[in-house]
Structure 1
Amino acid sequence: MPGPEEVAALAEWVGIASVSSDADRDDDVRRSAHWLADTLRGAGFPRAELWETEGLPAVHACWPAADPDAPVLLVYSHHDVHAVVPSEWRLTAPFSALQADGRLYGRGASDAKGQVLCHLWALLVHLAERRAPAPALTVKYLIEGEEEIGSVHLADLLSQHAGDLAADVVMVSDSMLWSLDEPAVCCVVRGSVTASLTVRGARRDIHSGAVSGAASNAAVELCRVLDLLSDDSGRITLPGFYDAVSEPAPDLRASLDSLPFHLPSWQADTGTFADVGEAGYTAPERLWTRPSVEIARLTAGRTDAPAFGLIPAEAGADLLFRLVPDQRADQVAQQLRGWLDGHRRPGYAYELDVSSTISDPYRTPAEHPALAALHRAVGHAYGAPARPIGNGGATPAAQLARACDAPVLFFGTGLPADRWHGPEERVELRSLRLGTRALTRFLDELDARSSRARRCRPHAE
């Protein structure tokens, strides 16, 4: 797997425009959830249902093992997708999947509908190889519908359905590989803090001819403040920000140092131009083991009419901090508030709004046998030993670990060149095949008959 039927099923699901950030697409997100639940039931899941929230629905499914003492695996991912700008898509419309050159193009093909279906395909292979009506371990899915808008109701789901989500191991399947030729297992993910900063310098937009040179300019002041966020060495200037930041673990650093990294190829895959960031660290180290801050959006002045000659009264910026173990998102949010208080100037009003959907970083416990099982499974599927890497994006891993009282593993089939959140998103069909093979082997590795996997679970950090 996947064969033509499986690829066709993924293409059909990609055709459902489950954009969670667009209220006009709420019905499509619901259709996506129904599609997945129907598909899981059709594949044999005894239980697959929608879990409603105050927003958009998640899908929960459970296929119990025959042995009540068998390990329990909970797979987390999402079925909603990022917004699109249809005019930027050239090869195909974003919700009209196209198979070409060994890839499937379409929004959600890689992030994360293809990843979700890999788990189903692997489970079906596992069952076929066992010639059994039930898997060797209990398999549960939690596929939410609001990940692309910050998982705003995930905490409610975890609280309301704690019993249904009890597990020995959690696997987050919303992740990237490094390459198909260099097998790797993610063992650490960064957390995130998002915030909006607004600066106001006047009661209304003002004609520059009347006040230029003698009046405050919100856009200029916002740029001044943003420039102070990092110093010349690329370090973030929030007081206390690096107090909890430690150097990469020796084994991880050695793995990253030996990772084949060709800057021009990486830039071509990701569409970037410059190699920038904190001085003294390689690009892979900065991606996965060091914190960062990005300006995700800047707004100022008129966008619906010519702005020439006007001084904008207000300017805004959306900020995104990426955090590493052992930073805490709530502490960084407080550091940001204190930092801003130290840079306010008379003549301006400042407003900082920190999102409630902040997330903590997470590191998989290195000694847990399930992590070793995943390394073996990935190495078997790819034909070479799997090395440890990180993930630069944020996931609700820490939240899941606390709610389920279980360690979290990471495995996905995405690649840096898959153009997540951009036009012409795509998934490599070879990546889906290798991913299915790895996940099939992982289920076998966690077989309840294996003494090394029987309910052995040191708690997550």
Structure 2
Amino acid sequence: MTRDVREFLSAHQDVLVEELVGWLRIRSVAGLPERAPDLIRSANWLAAELRATGFPAVEVWKGEAPAVYAEWCAAPGAPTVLIYSHHDVRAAKDELWEETPPFEPAVRDGRVYGRGASDAKGQIMSHVWGIRAHLAATGRDAPAVNLKFLVEGEEESGSAHLAGLLDDHRDRLGADLVVFSDTLTWRADHPAVCTSARGMVMAELGVSGPLRDVHSGAASGPAPNAAVELARLLGRLHDDKGRITLPGFYDTVAEPSERRRAELAALPFTERDWLDRSETRSITGEAGYSVLERLWVRPAAEIISMVAGDPVGVTRSAIPAVATATLNIRTVPDQKVDEVAGQLRRWVAEQLADTVEYDLTIARETAQEPYRTPDDLPALDALAVAMHDGFGQPPGRMGNAGGGPAELLSRTLGAPVLFFGVGLPEDRWHDSDERVSIEMLMNGAATLAHLWSRPSALR
């Protein structure tokens, strides 16, 4: 079967790439009202692709953001698998893209460049062609498992309406297993099964000093400076050991097990390789833990943006009345969104100087709880075997530093979540020149073709 899968995919590689390039041209940007028609176009494009694959039931659910639902349940007695992903993409600043405008995709050096190439349209295309390869290699008229797709259209803006969508269509979405495809694997030459994803708490903090911007020559010295006070506060977010200083933040954070530490330590890693692939200058973070442990089993807090004064254009030499910052806190299993939100609120109230006022907004509707796949889930071993077949070597084990609605899907549908993604850390998600390796798309499709041929292992 491995030979048949490979021959089919090799013969259709150019078609896969051509289809992906066509889809990437659609500007399905999340959160921009002017792009709402493009989101519908993107959903309709995928719906047509799934119908062409053979799915007998395909629908576009409009709502707040168009989601694509499809089902192919023609295997009585076999397990039902729901594949989750998203077709919306992040906004892109065209001027930052070096050679390829974000929505004029190009193929070069074995990669497809364009916004959404890896996050996550490329991952969906691996699924589509994995099903086609599965059918071609087995000679079946329908997949050996019952398959459903749910590809939403607002993941990049926080999946605010996904919970309502799941509730509204609960009778259609029943499944024994959820395959979550919006994640990374470790390296092209050393894949890994992802078994966890961190949660996320987003917050925006606005600090107000003077009643309006005031000329520094008139009030500098006695006037409170919103930017200074915000910077002081954020400078205390971590201690000198890299630990987050919110009181009680680590109370429920468990130490990684020896098994987990051994799994992560078994992955090929060097600091130089990591710096090159992540395009960062140095390694920071919580002391006492390896880089991979900091990424996948420890929480983190980042300042995503800071704005004050005159960030663009000629400065007015004025003391800013308002300074704002966006914070992103990544949580790990046993931490709860509501508890972390409360810790952040108390910390800001205690730490911020009383010479300024502030407003702290926590985006509760887009918060995400962390999730870890149960260690004893048989589908984990089935995926490892399928990845061995698809990539040509046994995979390791890893986590995902980002988040997603995995916990929401599992809790609402009553099914465990299995992660599978073909993205790489060097794919530049959310950045300029986003890209995906064609080899990874092919290996991912081959993996899925083998996975669907093992229905008994997916129960």
Shorter-chain TM range is over 0.9
Q: Which stretch shifts more, 404-413 or 368-377?
A: 368-377
Tell me if the contact between 2:310 and 2:316 (Cα under 8 Å) persists in the aligned partners: no
**TM-score calculated relative to the size of structure 1:** 0.95
Aligned to 1:380: 389
Q: State the partner residue of 1:127.
A: 135
> CA–CA distance in 1 between the matches of 2:233 and 2:95?
34
- Separation in 1, partners of 2:395, 2:311: 49
| 1:365 partnered with 2:374 | yes
Write the distance in 2 (CA, Å) between the matches of 1:344 and 1:110.
40
Q: Does 1:70 align with 2:55?
A: no
**Pair 1:394 & 2:403 matched:** yes
**Residues 241-266 of structure 1: per-residue CA shift (max 9 Å, x gap):** 10111111222211211221122222
Deviations 1:94-117 (A, max 9, x none): 111111111111111111001001
Alpha-carbon offset, residue 326 of structure 1 = 1.3
Residue 351 (1) aligns with residue 389 (2): no
Whole-Å Cα distance in 2 between the matches of residues 51 and 336 of structure 1? Answer: 36
* CA-CA distance at 1:304 after TM superposition: 5.2
Residue 393 of structure 1 aligns to a residue whose secondary structure is coil
Matched, 1:23 2:30: no
CA distance in 2, matches of 1:394, 1:238: 21
Query: Is 2:199–2:370's contact at 8 Å kept on the other side of the alignment?
Result: yes
Tell me, yes or no, if structure 1 residue 404 matches structure 2 residue 413: yes
Q: How does 1:49-448 map to 2 (within 5 A)?
A: 49-53=59-63, 55-67=64-76, 69-303=77-311, 305-356=313-364, 357-445=366-454, 447=455
Q: What's the counterpart of residue 459 of structure 1?
A: none
Q: Aligned with 1:24: secondary structure? A: helix
Aligned length: 448
1:43 and 1:203 map into 2 onto residues whose CA distance is 61
Cα distance per residue 1:417-461 (max 9 Å; x no partner): 11111111111000011111111111112x2xx3x54x4xxxxxx
Q: Partner letter of residue 406 of structure 1?
A: A
- The SS at the match of 1:3 is helix
- The gaps in structure 1 that reach 5 residues or longer are 456-461
**Larger deviation, residues 123-132 vs 228-237:** 123-132
1:302-355 Cα deviation digits (max 9, x unpaired): 345533420000000000000111111111011111111211322210110000
The residue type equivalent to 2:333 in the other structure is P
For 1:18, give the aligned amino acid. Answer: S
Displacement, 1:384? 2.3
Residue of structure 2 equivalent to 1:9 = 19
- C-alpha displacement of 1:164: 0.9
Instruction: Find the counterpart in structure 1 of residue 46 from structure 2.
Output: 36
| Amino acid across the alignment from 2:252 | A
Specify the code of the residue in structure 2 equivalent to 1:38: A
Query: Which amino acid in the other structure matches residue 51 of structure 2?
Result: R
Q: Distance in 2 between matches of 1:315 and 1:332?
A: 23
**1:378 Cα shift?**
1.0
Q: What do residues 146-174 of structure 1 show as CA deviations (whole Å, max 9, x unaligned)?
A: 01101111111111011111100001100
1:48-79 CA-partner distances (Å, limit 9, x unpaired): 111122x2111011011231x22000000000
Structure 1: distance between partners of 2:332 and 2:74: 36
Tell me what 2:5 maps to: none
| Counterpart AA for 2:60 | L
Q: Deviations over 1:404-425 (max 9, x none)?
A: 1000010111001111111111
Among candidates 35, 47, 56, match of residue 57 of structure 2: 47
Write out per-residue CA displacement over residues 273-303 of structure 1, whole angstroms, 9 at most, x where no aligned residue: 1100000111111010110000000010134
